[in-house]
Amino acid sequence: MSADPAIMERLHRHGQEHLVQYWAELEAEARAVLVAEIESIDFEQLDRLIAQFVRGDEDIHVAASDVEPIEVTRMPETDGQRASRRRSASLGAEMLAAGEVGVVLVAGGSGTRLGFEGPKGTFPIGPVSSASLFQIHAEKIVALSRRHGRPIPLYIMTSPENHQATIDFLDRHDRFGLEHLRCFPQGRMPVVDRVTGKVLLSSRDHVSFAPDGHGGVLAALAAPAGDQSCLDEMRDLGVNTLFYFQVDNPMVRIADPTFLGLHREAAAEMSFKVVERQAPEEKLGVVVRVKGRPSVIEYSDLAPELAARRIGSGTLELWAGSIAVHILERSFVERMAGDGRLPYHRAIKKTPFLDDSGRENRPDSPNSVKFEQFIFDALPRAERWSIVETDRAGEFEPLKNAVGPESPATVHQRMSDQFGDWLEQAGAVVPRRPDGGVAFGIEISPLFALDAAELRAKIEPGLVVERPIYLR
Ligand code: UTP
């Protein structure tokens, strides 16, 4: 006995009939689940993606002659520039006090490189407290809300896989004191075999799906859910401007008033924070102009000679590396979610699957292609934008890997170094190693102080830090 003829015909037309190869062994309930999963797939779109990314071998590199540097608001150097940034910060503070700003945190990734069981946001990253990424982000929002006298709503994007685990974790911790929190799941895409383009099965009755990339946030914010979509809710709350960041960077300055003010002054629809790329091969998206339009080129898509081009013997010509911190106008997100589908990218990854003989396979090397949208592809569609340089040491050290660069060890050190700097600015004595790093874990809860200026008012000058310390 086989599945419904209409489904069989559809699968046959797209060369995916193996998806029901275990049909005869399935109970009625499992069959219904499998059919629902198959019906959720847009096979026409999938055929196009397979033709482009699995069968096709198109050159993904952008032509060098089309690429030029983009204008960036650089770090202030003169008194005049510093005064101008202070004015931007006041404007941003007014936006926060008026309740116009919402925060969107994307936390739907699979975190395969970190290899941690559970949502990445639950990873204990505090260098002394072992506070989770979610706790650190939430405490910043609670502290900011208190400072500006208005609750700041937080919207967390999860994936279908980690949605419930994320909600359970946040509930167990009383939502870390957040007044307005909503979790919403992103969409997913089928995972295909990297050689044949066949959709993988994760078990006899389940198709293998993966989250559709952080760019999926645009559609997910607009998706109907419960009484209203997140965007509808934001409109009702009077939230017009969204601060976007990614779960893995505990150093992010959430809803940074200066950044908000610069965005507003430029009447921008989308803004980016960038840092100076340190090396041609550094894994940051590069913000540039392509054929005149502002764009981001993924590090892997930038031709090596272009990535390495320097101004004279000094800085890289295309120096602006995106740290995945953005501001988006709600109206822009609405427009993008309505008519402006983002393109898909290919991610070649290891995915466990059930093979044709019914055996579970855990491949040692990348065997599959996942299709993902990236939020930064919205930039060329923005009518106005702003690109703002920031100081890397102050706000960017993402947790990506279990060991080596961008791992718990580097994040702990970078966080402790920053808190050590704040303490020194407040007149404390902080022991340092010969390489300049602080000698042991130092941590300051955002609820104790959100920045160096706030800390200064709270500690006695002359304090000598002698052992790991967590100020809370
Ligand atoms: P990464 O690109 O680092 O991916 O995501 P990842 O899934 O977390 O980790 P790997 O590549 O499997 O090791 C950057 C940010 O975008 C979010 C992640 O949660 C992280 O905050 N993201 C990524 C999503 O929300 N959804 C996605 O589909 C992909």
What does the pLDDT average to over 427-432?
A: 96
CA distances from 318 to 62, 68, 390 (A): 14, 7, 16
Q: Using CA positions, which residue lies closest to atom 28 of ligand 1?
A: 213
Which of 103, 105, 110, 137 to mutate to test ligand 1, by most ligand atoms within 8 A of the CB atom?
110
Contact 448, 417 (CB under 8 A): no
Residue with the two structure tokens 């920031």: 390
* DSSP characters over 294-360: EEEE-GGGS-HHHHT-BSTTSSBSS-EEEEEEEEEEHHHHHHHHHH-PPPEEEEEE---EE-TTS-E
Confidence of residue 56 (pLDDT cuts 50, 70, 90): confident
What 3-state DSSP class applies to 28? helix
Residue 206 has pLDDT above 60, yes or no: yes
Task: Please state the atom number of ligand 1 nearest to the C-alpha of residue 108.
Answer: 25
Task: Please state the atom number of ligand 1 nearest to the C-alpha of residue 159.
Answer: 26
pLDDT for res 446: 98
Which of 105, 120, 191, 246 to mutate to test ligand 1, by most ligand atoms within 8 A of the CB atom?
246
64-397: CATH number: 3.90.550.10
Q: Where are the alpha helices (DSSP H) in 426-461?
A: 452-456
Q: Where are the beta strands (DSSP E) in 88-200?
A: 101-106, 154-158, 181-185, 188-190, 192-193
Q: How far is the CA of 8 from the centre of ligand 1 (A)?
A: 34
Q: Using CA positions, which residue lies closest to atom 27 of ligand 1?
A: 213
Q: Where are the alpha helices (DSSP H) in 120-224?
A: 133-148, 163-172, 217-222
Q: How far is the CA of 372 from the centre of ligand 1 (A)?
A: 10
- Please report, rounded to a whole number, the percentage of residues in the chain having pLDDT higher than 70: 99
Which burial class, exposed, middle or buried, applies to 433 when counting CB atoms under 10 A from its CB (0-12, 13-18, 19+)?
exposed
Task: Please state the atom number of ligand 1 nearest to the C-alpha of residue 110.
Answer: 7
- Ramachandran angles phi, psi of 470, nearest 5°: -130, 110
Task: Please state the atom number of ligand 1 nearest to the C-alpha of residue 105.
Answer: 21
Q: How far is the CA of 323 from the centre of ligand 1 (A)?
A: 13
Q: Using CA positions, which residue lies closest to atom 23 of ligand 1?
A: 109
Task: Please state the atom number of ligand 1 nearest to the C-alpha of residue 246.
Answer: 21
Q: How far is the CA of 120 from the centre of ligand 1 (A)?
A: 9
pLDDT for res 58: 57
Q: How many helices (H) and strands (E) does the chain have?
A: 14, 21
For the stretch 351-410, pLDDT in tens is 999 998 999 999 999 999 999 999 999 999 999 999 999 998 889 999 999 999 999 999
What does the pLDDT average to over 430-435?
A: 96
What 3-state DSSP class applies to 459? coil
Residues in Cβ contact with 358 at an 8 Å cutoff, skipping those fewer than 6 apart: 22, 204
What does the pLDDT average to over 449-454?
A: 97
Confidence of residue 61 (pLDDT cuts 50, 70, 90): confident
Within a 10 A sphere around the Cβ of 333, how many other Cβ atoms?
25
What are the extents of the domains in the chain?
A: 5-53, 64-397, 407-472
Contact 102, 141 (CB under 8 A): no
pLDDT for res 227: 83
For the stretch 99-149, pLDDT in tens is 999 999 999 998 989 999 999 999 999 999 999 999 999 999 999 999 999
For the stretch 17-53, pLDDT in tens is 999 999 999 999 999 999 999 999 999 999 999 999 9
pLDDT for res 80: 97
Q: How far is the CA of 405 from the centre of ligand 1 (A)?
A: 17
Question: What are the pocket residues of ligand 1 if the criterion is a CB atom closer than 6 Å to any ligand atom?
Answer: 106-113, 120, 157, 186, 211-214, 216, 246-248, 372, 400
What does the pLDDT average to over 301-311?
A: 89
pLDDT for res 60: 67
For the stretch 229-266, pLDDT in tens is 999 999 999 999 999 999 999 999 999 999 999 999 99
Confidence of residue 1 (pLDDT cuts 50, 70, 90): low
Q: How far apart are CA 387 and CA 262, in angstroms?
A: 9
CA distances from 413 to 20, 137, 364, 433, 436 (A): 51, 18, 32, 12, 11
Mean pLDDT of the chain: 95
Q: Using CA positions, which residue lies closest to atom 16 of ligand 1?
A: 214
Residue 425 has pLDDT above 80, yes or no: yes
Q: Using CA positions, which residue lies closest to atom 3 of ligand 1?
A: 400
Q: Using CA positions, which residue lies closest to atom 1 of ligand 1?
A: 109
Contact 356, 200 (CB under 8 A): no
Find, among 293, 270, 281, 265, the residue nearest to 70 by Cα. 293
pLDDT for res 107: 98
